[in-house]
Chain A
Amino acid sequence: MHVVVCMKQVPDTTNVRINPETNTLMREGVESIINPFDEYAPEEALRLKDSCGARVTVVTMGPPQAAVVIREALARGADDGALVSSRAFGGADTLATSYTLSMAIRKLCGGKTPDLVLFGKQAIDGDTAQVGPGVSEFLEVPLVTYVKSLEVAADGAYRVTTVMDDGEQVVEGRFPAVMTVLKEAAVPRFAPLAGWMAAAKAKIEVLDEKAVDADPIRIGLKGSPTKVVTIFPPPVKGGGEKIDARGDGEKGAKAIAAFLQKKGLVK
Chain B
Amino acid sequence: MIETDVLVVGAGPAGLATAIALRRKAADGRKPRVVVLDKGRSPGSHVLSGAIIDPSGFKGLLTDEEVAKMPVEAHVVKESFRSIMLPKLSVKIPWVPPMMSSKTFPVASLTKVTQYLAQIAAREGAEVYTGYAVTDLVEKDGRIVGAKTGEKGLDKNGRRKSNYLPSEEIRAKATVLAEGGCGILTERLIAEKGLQGVRSQTYAVGIKELIEVPAGTQTAGEVMHTFGYPADFTTYGGGFTYHVSETQVMVGYAYALDYRRPEIDPFRLFRRFKATAAVQRHIKGGKTVAYGAKVIPEGGFYSAPKPYYPGCLIVGDGAGLLDSLRIKGVHIALQSGVCAAEAILADDLASYETRLHATSGWREMKRVRNVRAPFSIAMPFGVMAAGLAWATFGRIPWFRLPGLGESDAAELEELKPGRLEREAANDVPSGPAMPDRLTDVFMSGTIHEEDQPCHLKIKDPARCEECERRFGSPCTRFCPAEVYRRDEGRLQIDFSNCLHCKTCRIKCPCGNIDWTFPQGGDGPRYTRM
The CA of A31 and the CA of B170, in the complex, are separated in Å by 29
Q: Which of A29, A30, A193 contacts B149 (CB 8 A)?
A: A193
Closest to B290 in A: A29
**Is B384 positioned at the interface, with any CB of A under 8 Å from its CB?**
no
Q: Give Cα A30–Cα B488 distance, bound, in whole angstroms.
A: 40
CB of A193 within 8 A of CB of B528, answer no
Residue of A nearest to B210 (CB): A29
- Given contacts A29-B528, A31-B42, A31-B527, whether A193 and B163 have CB atoms under 8 Å apart is no
B161 touches A193 (CB 8 A): no
Given the interface pairs A29-B528, A31-B527, the reply to whether A193 lies near B168 with Cβ below 8 Å is yes
Could you say which residues of chain A place their CB within 8 Å of the CB of B485? 246
The yes or no answer to B153 lying at the interface (CB within 8 A) is: yes
Which residues of A are interface residues toward B (Cβ below 8 A)?
A: 15, 29-31, 187-190, 192-194, 196-197, 200, 246-247, 249
For the complex, would chain B's binding face be called helix, strand, loop or mixed by DSSP majority? strand
Contacts of B129 in A (CB 8 A): 193, 196-197, 200
Query: Does B42 contact A193, Cβ atoms closer than 8 Å?
Result: no
Query: Is there a chain A Cβ closer than 8 Å to B328's Cβ?
Result: no
**Once bound together, how far apart are the Cα atoms of A246 and B438, in whole Å?**
15
B contact set with A: CB distance below 8 Å: 2, 35, 37, 42, 127, 129, 132, 149, 152-153, 161-163, 165, 168, 170, 445, 485, 487-488, 525, 527-528
**10 extra interface residue pairs, beta carbon distance < 8 Å, beyond A29-B528, A187-B161:** A29-B527, A31-B525, A187-B162, A189-B153, A189-B165, A190-B163, A193-B37, A196-B129, A200-B127, A247-B488
Q: Are A192 and B161 in contact, with the CB atoms below 8 A?
A: no
Give A88 to B409 CA distance when docked, in angstroms: 62
Q: Complex Cα distance A192/B164, Å? A: 10
Contact assessment for B132 and A193 in the assembled complex, using a CB-CB cutoff below 8 Å: yes
Task: For the complex, give the distance between the alpha carbons of A200 and B35 in Å.
Answer: 12
Please give, as numbers and ranges, the residues of chain B lying within 8 Å of A193 by CB-CB distance. 2, 37, 129, 132, 149, 168, 170
Which chain B residues border A29 with CB–CB below 8 Å? 527-528
Are A194 and B163 in contact, CB atoms less than 8 angstroms apart? no
Residues of A near B528 (CB, < 8 A) are 29
Instruction: Give B136 Cβ to nearest chain A Cβ, in Å.
Output: 14
Residues on the A chain within 8 Å of B35, using CB:
197
Closest to A196 in B: B129
Asked whether A194 and B527 contact (CB < 8 A) given A187-B163, A200-B127, the answer is no
Residues of A within 8 A of B153 (CB): 189-190
- Residues of chain B within 8 A (CB-CB) of A31 are 42, 525, 527
Complex contact B42–A194 (CB within 8 A): no
Most central of A29, A187, A193, A246 by chain B CB within 10 Å: A193
Q: Are the C-beta atoms of A247 and B42 separated by less than 8 Å?
A: no
> Within 8 Å CB of B162, what residues of A?
187
Evaluate contact between A190 and B152: CB separation under 8 angstroms. Answer: yes
Which residues of A lie under 8 Å from residue B152 when comparing CB positions? 190
Instruction: Name which residue of chain B comes closest to A17, CB basis.
Output: B289
Write out the residue numbers on chain B whose beta carbons fall within 8 Å of the beta carbon of A190: 152-153, 163, 165
CA distance A197 to B37 in the complex (A): 12
Partner of B2, one of A187, A188, A189, A197: A197
What is the minimal beta-carbon distance from A133 to any residue of chain B, in angstroms?
Answer: 29
Contacts A/B (CB < 8 Å), 22 sampled:
A15-B445, A15-B527, A30-B527, A187-B161, A187-B162, A187-B163, A188-B163, A189-B153, A189-B163, A189-B165, A190-B163, A190-B165, A192-B165, A192-B168, A193-B129, A193-B132, A193-B168, A196-B129, A197-B2, A197-B129, A246-B485, A247-B488
Residue of A nearest to B519 (CB): A190
The answer for the CA separation of A187 and B37 in the assembled complex, in Å, is 24
Q: Which residues of the partner chain A approach B2 to less than 8 Å between Cβ atoms?
A: 193-194, 197
Residues of the B chain whose Cβ atoms lie less than 8 Å from the Cβ of A200: 127, 129
The closest CB in chain A to the CB of B109 belongs to: A29
Instruction: Please give me the 8 A-B residue pairs with the lowest Cβ-Cβ distance, nearest first.
Output: A190-B165, A29-B527, A189-B163, A190-B152, A193-B168, A187-B163, A29-B528, A196-B129
Contact A247–B487 (Cβ < 8 Å): yes
Q: Is A194 touching B487 in the complex (CB atoms < 8 A)?
A: no
CA–CA, A31 and B40, complex, Å? 14
Closest residue of chain B to A189 (Cβ to Cβ) is B163
Q: How far is the CB of A65 from chain B (nearest CB, A)?
A: 11
| Cα–Cα distance between A30 and B527 once the two chains are bound (Å) | 8
> CA of A105 to CA of B129 in the docked complex: distance in angstroms?
30
Q: Please, which residues of chain A bring their CB within 8 A of the CB of B42?
A: 31
Beyond A187-B161, A192-B165, A193-B149, whether A246 also contacts B487 by CB under 8 A is yes
Shortest beta-carbon distance, A203 to chain B, in Å? 16
B-side contacts of A189, CB under 8 Å: 153, 163, 165
Instruction: Provide the residues of chain B in CB contact with A187, threshold 8 Å.
Output: 161-163
Separation of A131 and B115 alpha carbons in the complex (Å): 33
What is the CB-to-nearest-CB distance from A193 to chain B, in angstroms, rounded to a whole number?
5
B364 to chain A, nearest CB (A): 32
A187 to B35, CA, bound (A): 28
In whole angstroms, how far apart are the Cα atoms of A15 and B526 in the complex? 11
Q: How far is the CB of A144 from chain B (nearest CB, A)?
A: 23
The smallest beta-carbon distance between B75 and chain A, in angstroms, is: 20
A31 to B115, CA, bound (A): 11
State the CA gap A200–B4 with chains docked (Å).
15
Collect the chain B residues with CB atoms within 8 Å of residue A15's CB: 445, 527
- Minimal beta-carbon separation of A13 from chain B (angstroms): 13
- Give the docked Cα–Cα distance between A247 and B485 (Å): 11
Q: Residue of A at shortest CB range from B153?
A: A190
